[in-house]
């Protein structure tokens, strides 16, 4: 009897303390973490033998934009601001869907595909995620048939990220667009489509196609709607080799391009 009474008493105390805690929580102003500590911005994460490389470029006003001398400018606007009495800070984003690290959908260069709805939401996540090879392209050439042949990429490799002279020249960190960037020539794109199993092509500047072959190389790649193009990857300080790549575009219905977050995982 006494034991049952004790149990009832302690349950009651528990209940009361739980209720008052809940009440306190409702009224209390949450205490902030230490805001004098600078936020960490990292490109490499990892623990327990696993390393994650973020191969996405940061969006800054000085990031280059295709054929522009001025960079992407202010793509973020604080539409509602606490300093101006709003209940929260709320930003708006306005940008070309081909800004920074991004993906191209077939509709980018084929109007028929655009009209038929082959947008970024229709891209195959199975191609955008999985085992991938990061290779170094010889630095004295565009990605021509000869250059890609010299890389001896084995059959069965589906995802390849091509690091080029663009990374050495740090072109993605230069505000002014540089049309002398390295990319695929038309014959390089054709060689890849005809002779390899590659379905995910990644490069390190704003276009996978060299400037002089801008349209023709894109047309070769996108024609069969099998190859997915990821552009402006951040490939500095990542060792060449085999990884798991994860690339996720936004589900923008009707868009022929999308910003994309890409990471490489080495376990």
Ligand X SMILES: *[C@@H]1O[C@H](CO)[C@@H](O)[C@H](O)[C@H]1NC(C)=O
User: Is 108 one of the catalytic residues?
Assistant: yes
The single residue listed with the structure tokens 């663009």 is 166
Query: What is the nearest approach in angstroms of ligand X to the Cβ of residue 61?
Result: 17
The active-site residue, picked from 57, 98, 108, 218, is: 108
Among 20, 21, 81, 267, binds ligand X (CB under 6 A): 81
Judged by CB under 6 A, does residue 91 bind ligand X? no
Query: What is the nearest approach in angstroms of ligand X to the Cβ of residue 180?
Result: 4
Judged by CB under 6 A, does residue 180 bind ligand X? yes
Judged by CB under 6 A, does residue 84 bind ligand X? yes
Query: What is the nearest approach in angstroms of ligand X to the Cβ of residue 187?
Result: 13
Tally of CB atoms within 10 A around 138:
14
Nearer to ligand X, 56 or 185 (CB): 185
Q: Segment 154-173, which members bind ligand X (CB under 6 A)? A: 165
Judged by CB under 6 A, does residue 182 bind ligand X? yes
Nearer to ligand X, 89 or 267 (CB): 89
Query: What is the nearest approach in angstroms of ligand X to the Cβ of residue 36?
Result: 14
Judged by CB under 6 A, does residue 78 bind ligand X? yes
The contact set with ligand X (CB under 6 A) reads 78, 81-84, 89, 140-142, 165, 180, 182, 210-212
């Amino acid at each position: 009897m006494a034991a049952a009474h004790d149990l009832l008493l302690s349950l009651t105390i528990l209940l009361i303390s739980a209720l008052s805690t809940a009440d306190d929580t409702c009224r209390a102003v949450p205490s902030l973490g230490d805001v004098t500590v600078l936020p960490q911005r990292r490109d490499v994460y990892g623990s327990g033998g696993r390393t994650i490389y973020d191969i996405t470029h940061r969006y800054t006003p000085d990031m280059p934009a295709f054929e522009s001398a001025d960079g992407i400018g202010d793509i973020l606007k604080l539409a509602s601001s606490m300093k101006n009495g709003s209940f929260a800070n709320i930003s708006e984003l306005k940008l070309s869907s081909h800004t920074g690290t991004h993906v191209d959908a077939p509709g980018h260069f084929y109007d028929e595909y655009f009209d038929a709805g082959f947008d970024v939401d229709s891209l195959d996540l199975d191609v955008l995620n999985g085992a991938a090879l990061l290779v170094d392209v010889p630095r004295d050439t565009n990605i021509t048939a000869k250059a890609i042949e010299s890389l001896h990429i084995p059959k069965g490799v589906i995802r390849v990220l091509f690091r080029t002279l663009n990374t050495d020249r740090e072109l993605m960190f230069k505000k002014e667009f540089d049309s002398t960037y390295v990319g695929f020539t038309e014959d390089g794109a054709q060689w890849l489509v005809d002779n390899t199993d590659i379905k995910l092509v990644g490069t390190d500047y704003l276009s996978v196609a060299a400037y002089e072959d801008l349209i023709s190389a894109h047309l070769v790649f996108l024609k069969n709607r099998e190859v997915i193009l990821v552009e402006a990857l951040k490939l500095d300080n990542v060792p060449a080799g085999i990884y798991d790549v994860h690339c996720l575009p936004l589900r923008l219905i009707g868009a022929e391009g999308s910003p994309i977050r890409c990471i490489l995982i080495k376990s």
